[in-house]
Amino acid sequence: MEAFIQQLINGLSLGAIYALIALGYNLIFGVMNILTFAHGTVVMIGAYTVLIAHEKLGIDFAVAVVLGLAVATLTGLLVERVAVRPIRNNPWAVIIATFGMAIVIEHAMRQYKDIPARPVPFPSPFEHTYFYLFEGARVSLLQLGIFSIGLVLMIGLLLLIYRTKMGMAIRAVAQSPHIAETMGINLRKVAIYSFAIASVVGGAVGILYAIYYQSIYIHVGSQFLGLKGLVIVIVAGAGNIPGSLITGLMLGVLEALTIGYIGSEVRDLVAYSTLFLVLIFRPSGLFGEQARVEFKV
Amino acid sequence: MEEFELFLFLVHDILLEYGVFLIIALGCYVTMMSGQLSMAHGALAGIGAYATATISYTWGLPPLLGLFAGMLGGVVGGLFLTYVVSFRLFGMYLAIATFAFNEALAVVWRNVDFVGGTLGIVGIKMIDEILPIHIWEPIDDLWILIIVVALVSFFLWRFEMSYLGRSFRATFDDERIAEAMGVNLRRVKMLSWVIGGAIAGLGGALYAHNIGIIRPDNFQIPFSVLVLLAPVIGGYTRFWGVYVGAFIIVFGPHICDWVRDYIGAGLNGNAPETKMMLFRGLYVGVTLWRPDGLADRRGFPRKSVNVFRLISRQHAARAN
């Protein structure tokens, strides 16, 4: 029981990270009906900017975080401008162009001498303090911080999407671009907004991830976090933002339990086998309503 | 003279790589012919490679048997994808699910000790040991590859003209109308995965025999995206578009290597990184420049199909 609660706590803080990254994918996918493979790279850029600004340039951590979010947003907008907007109507070309873009950015960063391919340590703003709960399970200040920041971000985003005018425009475009356009919504603007929001959140996720694991490596986005985000989008059902947040938290808990009870080497299999089970028993996704089969065959 | 021989060796190696990659990409092309967009053909090739490695290396049976086992492995993987993914999802969702299949399979290979875990299998027999044709020793392996490529190409040439090939095309254009015209969608989707899987599995088996080493990392997403790129960059109307795409993908990195030499031996000394950066930049440029593919489209009188418009149409049909 102790171990179970301990893994539950670990899983919730990991799940907050997963939920936020899935949110970025879901926003872009829901609004523009395209998949961007460069989102993981945006996440990585956010964390690396903080690292370089704080360690190499000696900037204060809080200022470095703001800088990291800004650079991540700019990268996201650059991806939108270069690899999405010109070929907006060809979702398949967008996949290939964003995938290529992601690798170009990562390899361009590797040209800089001080960025190795191996994981590098990341500074932590939290002290190593632990709170002991009942039954001896402990929660660190770090985990508490990650989870509460994640929760605040999630609530803020839900308010942004469901309570503001911009959020209403985003939801309208996600429902039907054509009707939204006839109602006077500027589709290009909405696309830029959704990319910007997704990239800010992405940058924040990258920084949270790096703080949580106290290290970061250059392919973290494209080889680890990005893949998880995609899986969560399918498991939750695309276009459902609260659903993807819940699924992200659940996946984090499931992975932590797997690490605790089976072993860390099968950790990645959890997400994929969950995906296939969901596909077999509920093809529209856990929270999706729209059937995703083109045609009953 | 020494340098010239070295150059010939290089060309020989690149040609082998080209042939093997071409076969895998043709497998992807067959699956895409019916509008099934796959990011799993790298993994299907991986199944073929592991099958032939088990047969010819671990069990010591003849490698020719391994090629057939590779095809069988590709078929099994294709059937799994048909029943679990393809009958349930469409368009982008299908792409993400096949993508997850690819990653999941890599995790499986890593954790199965029988096929060598993370280290993979080293020391698989080379291509020239597959068939006992020995004409001229330096290019014996090339003959075998040419035979296989010719067989696959002949099959595709006849296949595209056949009733089944045309029903694939009809399904690609519009599933509803195709079904109204009497095309059995279930059969078309299943056959496109089975045939595509068989060809990709055969290509994967040849891949294993070509480089002699296989590891789980070889068959992950980057490889699958390259396989997918060949039809997309090359052009989609006829199967020889894949030849152009595969040519760019196999020769592109070598050309980028020469460019890198020319502009100064790798910025910061990271030679592979610089090469990959240039190559990815090249293909992003090609995609942005001609999203419909290089080989066909403009300049051809007959109406061509467009995979991109198809996907948008599938999503638009759902939205309405």
Radius of gyration of chain A (CA): 19
Q: Which helix (H) or strand (E) holds A106?
A: helix A91-110
Record: contact A297-B186, CB cut-off 8 A? yes
ipTM: 0.78
A295: pLDDT strictly greater than 70: no
In this complex, the residue of B95, B185, B273 whose CB is nearest that of residue A111 is B273
Say which amino acid occupies A236. A
Angle at the Cα of B310 from the Cα atoms of B309 and B316, rounded to 5 degrees: 85
- pLDDT value at position B269? 57
Residue A10 has pLDDT above 80, yes or no: yes
Do B284 and A97 count as a contact with CB atoms less than 8 A apart?
A: yes
Q: What is the mean pLDDT of residues A91-107?
A: 84
Confidence category of residue A112, pLDDT binned at 50, 70, 90: confident
Q: Is A272–B104 a contact, with Cβ atoms under 8 angstroms apart?
A: yes
Low-confidence ranges of chain B (pLDDT < 70): 1, 264-271, 291-292, 295-320
Per-domain residue ranges of chain B: 12-319
d(CA A5, CA A143): 14
pLDDT given at position B301: 36
Minimal Cβ distance to B314: which of A103, A234, A294: A294
Burial class (CB in 10 A: 0-12, 13-18, 19+), B195: buried
pLDDT of residue B1: 67
At B26 the pLDDT is 94
Q: Residue A230 and residue B87: Cβ atoms within 8 Å?
A: no
Nearest beta carbon to residue B308 from set A92, A100, A265:
A92
Residues in Cβ contact with B41 at an 8 Å cutoff, skipping those fewer than 6 apart: B24, B25, B27, B28, B31, B196, B200, B224, B227, B228
Give the pLDDT mean for A186-215.
91
- With the C-alpha atoms ordered B163, B169, B175, B180, is the resulting torsion angle positive or negative? negative
3-state secondary structure labels for all residues of chain B: CHHHHHHHHHHHHHHHHHHHHHHHHHHHHHHHHCCCCCCCHHHHHHHHHHHHHHHHHHCCCCHHHHHHHHHHHHHHHHHHHHHHHHCCCCHHHHHHHHHHHHHHHHHHHHHCHHHCHHHCEECCCCHHHCCCCCCCHHHHHHHHHHHHHHHHHHHHHHHHHCHHHHHHHHHHHCHHHHHHCCCCHHHHHHHHHHHHHHHHHHHHHHHHHHHCEECHHHHCHHHHHHHHHHHHHHCCCCCHHHHHHHHHHHHHHHHHHHHHHHHHCCHHHCHHHHHHHHHHHHHHHHHHHCCCCCCCCCCCCCCCCCHHHHHHHHHHHHHC
**Under an 8 A CB cutoff, do B88 and A35 touch?**
no
- As beta bridge partners, residue B121 has B214
Give me the residue from B85, B92, B232 closest to A96, CB to CB.
B232
Q: Stretch A232-252: mean pLDDT, rounded?
A: 85
pLDDT, residue A292, reads 46
Q: For residues B129, B133, B138 and B139, what is the CA-based torsion angle, rounded to 10 degrees?
A: -100
Q: Which residue of B has its CA nearest to A263?
A: B111
What integer pLDDT is reported at residue B277 of this predicted model? 78
Q: What is the overall mean pLDDT for chain A? A: 84
Residue A84: exposure state from Cβ atoms within 10 A (0-12, 13-18, ≥19) = buried
Min Cα separation B16/chain A (Å): 25
Closest by Cα among B249, B102, B238 to B168:
B238
Those residues whose C-beta lies under 8 Å from the C-beta of residue A106, and which sit 6 or more positions away, are A41, A44, A218, A219, A222
A238 contacts in chain B (CB < 8 Å) = 93
Please tell me the distance in Å from A234's CA to the nearest CA on chain B.
7
Interface test with chain B among A28, A32, A96, by most B beta carbons within 10 Å: A96
pLDDT of residue A293: 43
Query: Which residues of chain B have a CB within 8 Å of the CB of A227?
Result: 99-100, 103, 221
The confidence score (pLDDT) of residue B13 equals 87
**Between chains, do A279 and B176 touch, taking CB under 8 Å as contact?**
no
Contact between A154 and A12 under an 8 Å Cβ cutoff? The reply is no
Residue from B36, B86, B93, B268 whose CB has the most chain A CBs within 10 Å, to mutate: B93
Phi-psi region of A112 (alpha: psi -120 to 50; beta: other; left: phi over 0): beta
CA distance to B32, B233, B241, B247, B280, per residue, from B244 (Å): 17, 8, 5, 5, 17
Q: Which residue of A has its CA nearest to B293?
A: A93
- Nearest by CB to B318, which of A268, A269, A290? A290
